[in-house]
Chain A
Amino acid sequence: MAILTKEEAKKIIDKVLGYSKADETSVSLSGNRTGNIRYARNTVSTSGETDNLALAVTAVFGKKVGSATINEFDDQSLEKTVRRAEEIAQLAPENPEYVPMLGPQKYIETASYAESTARINPEFRAQAAFDSIEPCNKKKLTAAGYLEDTTGFSAIGNSKGLFGYNPFTSVAFSVTTRTADGTGSGYASRDVNDVAKLSTKEATEVAMAKALASVNAKALEPGKYTVILEPTAAGDLINLMMGSLDARNAEEGRSFLSRKGGGTRLGEKFFDERITIYSDPANVEIPGSPFTGGGGGRFGGGGVDGRPQEKTLWVENGIIKNMSYSRYWAQKNNVKAVPPSGGFIMQGGNQSLLDLIKSTQKGVLVTRFWYIRAVDPQTLLYTGLTRDGTFLIENGQIKYPIKNFRFNESPVIMLNNIEALGKAVRSAGNLIPPMKIRDFTFSSLSDAV
């Protein structure tokens, strides 16, 4: 029941729109089946599976907006929900920033659904956990991991004739392996739409190798180092920067993209010229949603924005090419309402991680970062720590494991200090290359393993 076809979803949305007496009405209908398995100390701790099917109605009178949600689908319940949204709208204060709904849009097809993932069952999850735990048992390592799979759809529609439907699947897996004495720790994570591309055993073996190689780490003085950031580490910082491209904040003077004396840094060269970042929902490696908005229900509403997601260039050869806009702010400024992207693609080179290591005289290899938090929004300064595998590189080789560092660094500074970019791979829904960066600031040591 949770996964409706395009026709089934449209039938329900049309019925709901038919009940409405508001000036404008939109409907968001989404369903998913999510399953998970969690393990620690080499044994399964929890597992579960939930189905959700929910509908959110937004009714608008003038500039007064009200939403209501429901997870029952008989005619009476649907009509009641529409009436409730209308009542809430009538009682709401006017929203001066309300922008009328979009008419029909053209959406691209994306490859975000894989049947293999939709077929995942509890036995599959148990086997995936077993494939991760068993190699650790054999090497006397302790595994803690988590696998979560989702199969779902998102459908949107409104009283101006807009309709969109997108089915999707996703799987996220991560594992931490530790030595029995707690002196070594390794980590690996994978995310895919098609579970056929996931091997929990392969990922666990990477984490195991890191755990074993990170035993008895030596302390290095904090300071500025050339670093090689694996995609998981680099991606976390770049992702935070990509979430800070809002045009309104920049134009209001409270963003790293605000310009001294007013205006923004749009069109300026901001990074090393090798930096090009774009988003593309049609990319087969990180297929995204063809439209913005949708979802809702369980999360108390969800909106129908409905803007098509298109290929968007954010940074080209180091120059800021686009910022994201709300429809209100775009209309006020008479510019195209470029929606924020889902995932992003950062162009890399052809070198492998090993090539980057080989070309390094002295540097630090970072597996991942942890507890990254903003320190200063005007420079995008972040702090956080290395974790689960940090190594000294000397003369093109991994020399020995080193103790974890705290860093204080800005991705803006980082992307100006690029030495080399490797081949981009998928990490947390983005395509991101391993990066070699000079003068990365480590400010203190951590005893954590």
Chain B
Amino acid sequence: MLPNSPVFGRSVAPEALLEPGLEVAVKKRLADAALNAAKAKGASYTDIRIGRYLRQFVTTREDKVQNIVNTESFGVGVRVIVDGCWGFASVVDAKSEAQTAKAAEEAVAIAKANARLIKQPVQLAPQKGFGEVSWKAPIKKNAFEVPIKEKVDLLLTVNDAALKNGANYVNSVLFMVNEQKYFASSDGSYIDQDIHRMWPTFRVTAIDPKTGKFETRSELSAPMGMGYDYLQANPSDKIAGITTRYNKGYDMLEDVTAAARQAKQKLTAKSVEAGKYDLVLDPSHLWLTIHESVGHPLELDRVLGYEANFAGTSFATLDKWKSKNFNYGSKQVNLFADKTQVGSLGAVGWDDEGVACKKWDLVKEGTLVNYQAIRDQVHILGETESQGCCYADSWGSVQFQRMANVSLAAGKTPLSVEQMIKDVKKGIYIIGDGSFSIDQQRYNFQFGGQLFYEIKNGQIAGMLKDVAYQSNTQEFWNSCTQICDERDYRLGGSFFDGKGQPMQVSAVSHGSSTTRFNGVNVINTARKI
């Protein structure tokens, strides 16, 4: 679920985004004040997050800058366990020890009030303290250091290229985020982290006034855990083919030029004939199918029913996992969670409850083997250590279980996209993410895309439109027959994944190589009104 304009924080001048936050020594003092205050009031566990969240969004259409948003949000959130119950309180702009201590006391009071209502006390997995440590995203160029003018110039050049290549309209946006997070807990951790994310996006529209039809094509970029360096594509970051796709560097100008031509081409493309097809799915498309049909159903809080009233529950129930033989997909399918992948949106050193990030298997050779969990859940899985999936979207939000980067392992045998396509008799090659919908237990789904190419007897036969495929999670992953090798492995991702009430957003990546699924049901989405 993608909220509208998820901008949280106060507007500031762009230069303010470059000002340093509080010094680590000051943050430690603020943290200790909260930890001590909570302990004195009877908390058995306390953590504090001191967060500074910086965002910059530059929005344009055709030859106009529509909006430049610079926001900063700073505050402190304290979480405690008292009498076996969680309590949380937050305070905006907390710069004094008295403020953080007061927030800790409020959290204790809330925990005490709620303790009457809980059925079972919180069972928190033990976690060793890490002392004073830090983590910094390995970015090469801080996006906030790039002048606004350079960003505006880039987008207006992109828009101009779109219009020159056949687009009637074009919207383009740069999203840039920096989370400066300090975490401390009564376990003895003091963790300072600097996290960067960026996402260049556009949508071109081509119109045929004679028929009154219009078609769009959106970017093939991925939101990344990178700096402005993502926009400097080296030749090695480009994957040549029917259209260029991108790995760790993105050429926005090249992509928009192709997009404008392709949007126009879509106007006269053949409308798909509904039926069964072998699908060849590019990573720029498959990430979203992984996100919805693997990432979400394997979140333990959904499995347990905590999201029943909103995001839903899961078909991947504990009994299926306990059986050790629940067939999630074919033997080729290895799905893993990994919060350490360089350049991914979910990569951090430690999660929002002080657990060091790691990599673990979810589906091994087709069999369900694990979930994503946090410290107060892992005991249900018989584990003694959290997997590190805890996240809050702001200092003012309570941290809870969020999706790790969940990815499909590349094939072990050498296989290129061209070789894969050569073997397909009746298929569709899908590039880019489009429409998406899945039921509340994650069985039945429908996905669209950006570009669809018909495959006939091993050859690309031309562009298709009005394509969407429907399947069932287990059936779909069992129809997986081939996965290209590591050379084709790329990340896609969601910048604004929504969950919880009140809703919080998080950013998460999903990697894969181009993958083939046999005999998937394709529908035609054209209608007359």
Residues of A that sit less than 8 Å from B by CB: 36, 38, 40-48, 50, 54, 56, 67-71, 84, 87-88, 91-93, 95-97, 122, 126, 129, 142, 144-146, 148, 174-176, 178, 182, 187, 252-254, 256, 258-262, 297-301, 370-381, 383-385, 387, 404, 406, 408, 410, 412-413, 443-449
Contacts and interface: CB of A to CB of B under 8 A. Distances in A.
A176 B308 contact: yes
B8 A299 contact: yes
B118 interface: yes
B236 interface: no
Contacts of B443: 446-448
B307 interface: yes
Nearest to B274: A443
Given A48-B88, A444-B446, A447-B441, 17 more contacts: A40-B305, A48-B110, A68-B11, A68-B12, A176-B309, A253-B168, A260-B210, A261-B210, A261-B212, A298-B8, A377-B216, A379-B528, A406-B437, A410-B527, A412-B529, A413-B529, A444-B521
Nearest to A301: B11
B468 A144 contact: no
Interface of B: 5, 7-14, 55, 64-66, 68-71, 86, 88, 90, 92-93, 110, 113-114, 117-119, 148, 152, 168-169, 205, 207, 209-214, 216, 304-310, 312-313, 315, 317, 396, 398, 435-444, 446, 448, 466, 468, 470, 472, 501-502, 521, 523, 525-529
Contact of B468 (A50, A70, A383, A410): A383
- Most-contacted residue by chain B among A182, A379, A385, A448 (CB, 10 A): A448
B441 A449 contact: yes
Given A70-B10, A95-B65, A408-B525, A253 B212 contact: yes
Given A45-B306, A253-B214, A71 B502 contact: no
11 contacts: A38-B501, A41-B305, A67-B11, A144-B309, A176-B309, A260-B212, A261-B212, A299-B5, A300-B71, A443-B446, A444-B470
Contacts of A259: 212
B211 A254 contact: no
- Most-contacted residue by chain B among A178, A410, A443 (CB, 10 A): A443
B444 A445 contact: yes
Nearest to B215: A378
B212 A40 contact: no
Nearest to A46: B398
A373 B502 contact: no
A448 B312 CA distance: 10
B46 to A, nearest CB: 17
Contacts, number: 215
Given A253-B209, A378-B214, A146 B309 contact: yes
Nearest to B502: A36
A142 B308 CA distance: 10
A399 B467 CA distance: 36
A62 to B, nearest CB: 15
Contacts of B527: 376, 379, 381, 410, 413
B309 A444 contact: no
B207 A178 contact: no
A287 B90 CA distance: 32
Nearest to A300: B7
A69 B501 CA distance: 26
B307 A93 contact: no
B85 to A, nearest CB: 9
A301 B12 CA distance: 10
A329 B430 CA distance: 37
Nearest to A373: B437
A446 B529 contact: no
Nearest to B149: A93
B523 A71 contact: no
Given A252-B169, A261-B212, A301-B11, A370 B439 contact: yes
B209 A261 contact: yes
Contacts of A50: 90, 396
B289 to A, nearest CB: 14
B212 A174 contact: no
B11 A56 contact: yes
B214 A258 contact: yes
A443 B55 CA distance: 41
- 4 closest A-B pairs by beta carbon, nearest first, are A260-B212, A446-B444, A144-B308, A448-B441
A374 B437 CA distance: 9
A433 to B, nearest CB: 22
A375 B308 contact: no
A71 B91 CA distance: 13
B255 to A, nearest CB: 21
Contacts of A54: 10
A95 B470 contact: no
A408 B523 contact: yes
B441 A258 contact: no
A370 B440 contact: yes
A374 B218 CA distance: 15
Contacts of A406: 437, 439, 444, 446, 470
A301 B446 contact: no
Contacts of B214: 253-254, 258, 377-378
A297 B10 contact: yes
B175 to A, nearest CB: 13
Contacts of B8: 298-300
A371 B443 CA distance: 13
B305 A144 contact: yes
Contacts of B440: 370-371, 385, 387, 448
A444 B444 contact: yes
B127 to A, nearest CB: 21
A92 B68 contact: yes
Contact of A69 (B11, B118, B148, B317): B11
A385 B305 contact: no
A242 to B, nearest CB: 15
B308 A256 contact: no
B305 A300 contact: no
Contacts of B437: 371-373, 383-385, 406
Nearest to B65: A93
A50 to B, nearest CB: 7
Nearest to A178: B308
Contact of A175 (B64, B309, B312, B523): B309
A97 B113 contact: no
Nearest to A96: B64
A205 B328 CA distance: 37
A379 B117 CA distance: 49
A45 B306 CA distance: 8
Contacts of A88: 11, 13, 70
A370 B521 CA distance: 21
A300 B148 CA distance: 18
A305 B463 CA distance: 44
A182 B314 CA distance: 11
Contacts of B88: 46, 48
Given A46-B398, A71-B92, A373 B118 contact: no
A50 B470 CA distance: 42
A377 B7 CA distance: 26
